[in-house]
Amino acid sequence: MRRSQNPARPTPAELAGQIQTAFVSSGCRHLLITGLPGRGKSTVLQALLPWYLPRLAGGLLSALQTPAADPAGLTAAGSAAAPPYRRVVLWPWQPASNGARDDAVAVWPPERVQKIWQAPPEAWLAGESLGKGQPLTVKPVAFREAAGYLRALGGQPGDFVLLDELGWLENSQPAYLEQVQTLAGQKRLLAVIRKQGSAAGDRLRARQDSFTADLDCGPA
């Protein structure tokens, strides 16, 4: 396993270029991006996409949301329906839904790339917290759906799969964890990984064919 250590704090585009050059030179199969929260992992991943859009079989994305209260939302009993204080959603993405198979990569503006990370209404609820300070409760159904989708991606055209992100929420979902590892044997992964507490991420980082770009690394 090789790691990149990037000096200073270049722009996301500059950093993506450095990571891409180092990854290609490494000869590794998988490109993993890690770092502490707030380091811009997903932003760097978006900057890397121009190199990979034509080669993507698809992706599995996630988002942490803090829904605003909806005063018009009512339960069946007629009382106000309070949304969860926090929730995590997962959704499948395939290049055909954004025209990546038809458009030249160079014409994709940044705002179009960013739309890939906008959760659709049909996103799967993977975890929710019902109040401030309450832990997230895992929703196994979402991870069963996600595992099935990753299984299907293994047979799709394209040699890379986009994953953002692998974290701790799925640690209690062994079927999903195993499917991620199976997919790593079928496809090359372009993935964002939580730096600590990710069972799937730890296994991928331990592979000899994984290149890890750690955004927390500074000058030697």
> How far is residue 177's CA from residue 52's CA, in Å, rounded to a whole number?
24
Each residue's pLDDT expressed in tens, for the chain with a length of 220 residues = 555 554 557 899 999 999 999 999 999 999 999 999 888 999 999 999 989 988 999 999 999 998 764 434 433 444 455 666 899 999 999 886 554 444 444 556 777 788 888 899 999 999 999 887 888 999 999 999 999 999 999 999 999 999 999 999 999 999 999 999 999 999 999 999 999 999 999 999 999 999 999 999 854 3
Torsion sign (Cα): 115, 116, 122, 123: negative
Domain borders along the chain are 2-64+85-214
pLDDT value at residue 112: 77
Q: Would you state the pLDDT for residue 2?
A: 57
pLDDT of residue 1: 54
Residue 191 in contact with residue 160, Cβ under 8 Å?
A: no
Question: Count of H helices and E strands in the chain?
Answer: 6, 9
Eight-class DSSP state of 1: -
Looking at domain 2-64+85-214, its CATH superfamily turns out to be P-loop containing nucleotide triphosphate hydrolases (3.40.50.300)
